[in-house]
């Protein structure tokens, strides 16, 4: 049994193997190793893609799924996070998928004897999002080495950015950040957004996460899009063959306009599709094959 809580603790060959298995699932391969396992999806923070694509993956693998509703649980009576998860382990579930607002919440669960699949922790890690991003990039370009990516927007509060910037650099990609200076981190190379649009193989946009910002955005959505967002004028200046990615949910009219969402260069919905297959592969990794 293995956890999947961060990608930084996985070797490059382990990551490639998960991606290979995800591609095999996409091609129709059947895996019987998870059939009949009971999986609890414990989402303590809202989610559409991660929650329901994990559920889709579980159903495709033949698992039995428990969907947890925090608002109608004993959390409302003051039960702790640890006691809630420990309760599900005590039911005898075979694995838990957890999303929580707290960074590294999984450290307090180190005594559990069932796999933990991290559906996102605070501003720290989002391993299955990163795996689906990698799968999408590999499908497009056939590999990673030498590719140039700019992750654009609110880097400071983004678990997607933090996870991707670590693993993509390890896979040989040339990684930059772009966007408003107040959202950047000194540890990553920064690039002007318009230069990134013209030079990068991959433009990955991030949602402006108003709910995590200490202060309200200091500009209107239209002003943000004019300075740091994709729109038809910037689409026309992108490098030929370059692709647009976004973990979603996205804010139409802020980091991208309506015309960008499903334009030929956009891989936003193909990312969602790949999310199911990498999550199937994540279970295969955790259940021991
Ligand atoms: N990309 C992502 O994590 O989306 P959700 O918050 O909807 O799961």
Residue 47 CA to chain centroid, in angstroms? 11
Residue 213 has a pLDDT of 44
Longest dimension (CA), the chain: 56
Residue 129 Cβ contacting ligand 1 at under 6 Å: yes
DSSP string, 42-70: EESS--SHHHHHHHHHHHHTT-EEEE--G
Residue 217 has a pLDDT of 64
What's the token pair of residue 217? 């955005």
Residue 221 has a pLDDT of 86
Residue 47 Cβ contacting ligand 1 at under 6 Å: yes
- Contact present, 239 and 200 (Cβ < 8 Å): yes
Residue appearing with tokens 């094959």:
289
Q: Quote the ligand 1 centre to 50 CA distance (angstroms).
A: 5
Q: Provide the CB-side half-sphere exposure for 63 (13 A, CA).
A: 28
Atom 4 (ligand 1): residue with closest C-alpha? 49
Residue 210 has a pLDDT of 62
**pLDDT 10s digit of each residue in the chain, 289 long?**
899 999 999 999 999 999 999 999 999 999 999 999 999 999 999 999 999 999 999 999 999 999 999 999 999 999 999 999 999 999 999 999 999 999 999 999 999 999 999 999 999 999 999 999 999 999 999 999 999 999 999 999 999 999 999 999 999 999 999 999 989 999 999 999 999 999 999 999 999 866 544 465 678 889 999 999 999 999 999 999 999 999 999 999 999 999 999 999 999 999 999 999 999 999 999 998 6
Residue 268 Cβ contacting ligand 1 at under 6 Å: no
Q: pTM score, two decimals? A: 0.96
Pocket perturbation via mutation, ligand 1, pick of 57, 124, 249 by most ligand atoms within 8 A of CB? 249
Q: Which ranges constitute the DSSP H helices of the chain? A: 12-26, 49-60, 81-91, 127-141, 159-170, 193-199, 221-228, 232-235, 258-261, 268-286
Q: Quote the ligand 1 centre to 55 CA distance (angstroms).
A: 13
Residue 81 has a pLDDT of 98
């Amino acid at each position: 049994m293995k956890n999947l809580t961060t990608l930084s603790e996985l070797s490059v060959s382990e990551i490639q193997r998960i991606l290979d298995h995800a591609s095999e699932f996409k091609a129709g391969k059947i895996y019987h190793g998870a059939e009949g396992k009971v999986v609890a999806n414990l989402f303590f923070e809202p989610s559409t893609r991660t929650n329901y694509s994990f559920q889709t993956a579980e159903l495709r693998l033949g698992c039995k799924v428990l969907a947890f509703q925090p608002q109608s649980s004993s959390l409302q009576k003051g039960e702790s996070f640890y006691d809630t998860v420990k309760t599900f382990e005590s039911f005898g579930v075979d694995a838990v998928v957890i999303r929580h607002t707290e960074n590294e919440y999984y450290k307090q669960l180190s005594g559990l004897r069932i796999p933990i699949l991290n559906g996102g922790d605070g501003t720290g890690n989002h391993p299955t999002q990163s795996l689906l991003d990698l799968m999408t990039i590999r499908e497009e370009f056939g590999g990673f080495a030498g590719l140039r990516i700019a992750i654009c927007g609110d880097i400071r509060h983004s678990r997607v950015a933090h996870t991707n910037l670590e693993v993509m650099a390890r896979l040989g990609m040339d990684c930059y950040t772009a966007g408003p200076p107040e959202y950047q981190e000194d540890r990553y190379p920064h690039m002007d957004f318009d230069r990134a649009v013209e030079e990068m193989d991959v433009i990955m946009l991030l949602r402006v996460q108003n709910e995590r910002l200490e202060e309200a955005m200091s500009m209107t959505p239209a002003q943000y899009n004019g300075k740091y967002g994709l729109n038809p004028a910037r689409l026309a200046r992108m490098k030929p063959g370059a692709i647009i990615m976004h973990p979603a949910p996205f804010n139409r009219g802020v980091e991208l306009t309506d015309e960008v969402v499903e334009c030929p260069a956009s891989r936003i919905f193909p990312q969602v599709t790949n999310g199911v297959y990498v999550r199937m592969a994540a279970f295969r990794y955790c259940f021991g094959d």
